[in-house]
Amino acid sequence: MSNSVILKGGRVVDPGRSIDQLMDVGYADGILRDPAELRDPEVVDVSGCVVTPGFIDVHVHLRQPGNTAAETIATGTMAAAAGGFTTIVAMPNTTPPADTVGAIEYLRQQATQKGVVRVLPCGCLTKGRQGTEMAGIGGLAQAGVAAFSDDGNCVQDHALMRHLAEYIESFHLPILDHCEDKNLAAGGVMHEGKWSVLLGMNGLASAAEEIMVARDIILARMTGARFHIQHVSAKACVQMIADARKNRLPVTGEVTPHHIALTDECIKSYDTNFKMSPPLRSESDRQSLLAGLASGALTVIATDHAPHTDTAKKVEFDDAPFGIIGLETALPVCLSVLVHDGVLNMMQFISKLTTGPAEVLGMEHYDLRPGNAADITVFDPERQITIDPEKFRSKSRNTPFGGRTCRGMVVRTIVGGKTVFVQE
């Protein structure tokens, strides 16, 4: 075997096999191997670090084509590697949208040529993401999409969404849904509550999210289709998803680092880097998200990495676009909020970045067993860092976490046996 490596002395946390122990991990020719089988391997000392299956992010905006001033496939995948992500799902809200086979082929070609991590394309649910006419679902499925979504545009027509669910279920692919009733959400720029009143801003009620989560759960029961609820932010939605999973419906939910670390009170600074959709909500909502992660109702952490240029964000709060970047801050922020603060143990935490998203994508046996692809993340759980946006690999800097001190740092990311990131 050539190109053989042993990662020596690390704490291996592998939720897919329920392993949490000090042990070596070996790989050769891009495949995980029993370290005892390797001859003359390169030995990398990872003592003091946690070694896990490569992180998966099911919610990433790469902006190419259409807005390469904010991000490109090259810079976005470098940011993913720096964040410990070995696989990312690219959202289809590009210009033009990813609603044709040609658009999917373009993404694949660019990712192969310029990407440093695995990029899985997501196809549109409807033509042009307009919510009125079904996209070419069959052709997109044959082109190899990993999922379907209209991303920021939630399909408002319930009958159309039912037909989409019935058709997509036949391909055994998931629907990733940004749940928002447009009529209830119209004009809202932050969470409707105490702080929207105090700041004199238009509120966006939790009910806008709740109604569509309820709709999707009903359709999951009707059709058997797999619904994944993106960036859950409201307390009532956590309970609905918990009940759905208790009833064994094919429903999953994700939370973002910003929704578990921040609240609507942050917006009193009027910093547009705190503007996202769904909005930062109350402390009560945040606590419900933490409880949902701890109970297992919420199985996925996803970044909703949404790059915007400084020019786009440096405007009045009402006029600024929604969204922040998150690939490079996810590990330190989430590790600090969830593990170091005692919400989750390390095994539970790693599952939200590995087996949880793998379940959404239908990836079986996503773990570090010999024979699998050598997709590996190594991080130092105790290393204290201060987040510095100027050091990001991403092309954009729109983060609310600049200057925040956290514990946890990615030190090495390996994709198919190739080291794509090493902390200097």
Residues 6 or more apart from 94 whose CB is under 8 A from it? 62, 63, 64, 65, 66, 67, 103
Task: List, for residues 99-112, the tens digit of each pLDDT value.
Answer: 999 999 999 999 99
Cis bond upstream, residue 96 (ω within 30): yes
Has residue 70 got a pLDDT over 90?
yes
Segments in 298-345 forming alpha helices (H): 310-313, 330-334
Cα 368 from Cα 378, distance rounded (Å): 13
The pLDDT assigned to 96 comes to 96
Asked if residue 289 has pLDDT above 80, the reply is: yes
Is residue 92 within 8 A of residue 123, CB to CB? The reply is: yes
Residue 1 has pLDDT above 90, yes or no: no
Q: What is the pLDDT of residues 113-135, one digit of tens each?
A: 999 999 999 999 999 999 999 99
Strand, helix or coil for residue 277: coil
Side-chain-side CA neighbours of residue 83 (13 Å): 34
Residue 413 contacts residue 46 (beta carbons within 8 Å): no
| Averaged pLDDT score across all residues of the chain | 97
pLDDT band at 2 (very low <50, low <70, confident <90, very high): low
Give the start-end residues of each E strand in 34-152.
42-45, 50-53, 55-60, 85-90, 118-123, 147-151
Domain ranges, ordered by start, for the chain: 5-50+372-422, 54-360
Per-residue confidence (pLDDT) for residue 3, from 0 to 100: 84
Answer whether residue 377 shows pLDDT above 70. yes
pLDDT band at 271 (very low <50, low <70, confident <90, very high): very high
- Could you read off the pLDDT of 90-99 as tens digits, one per residue? 999 999 999 9
* Catalytic site residue from 151, 304, 367, 375: 304
> Is residue 304 annotated as a catalytic residue, yes or no?
yes
pLDDT category at 67 given cuts 50, 70, 90 is: very high
Q: What is the mean pLDDT of residues 405-410?
A: 97
Q: What are the distances in angstroms from CA 102 to CA 122, 123, 143, 269, 370?
A: 13, 11, 9, 44, 36
CATH of domain 54-360: 3.20.20.140
Is the pLDDT assigned to residue 50 strictly greater than 60?
A: yes
Give CATH superfamily name and number for 5-50+372-422. Answer: Urease, subunit C, domain 1 (2.30.40.10)
Mean predicted confidence (pLDDT) in 205-231: 98
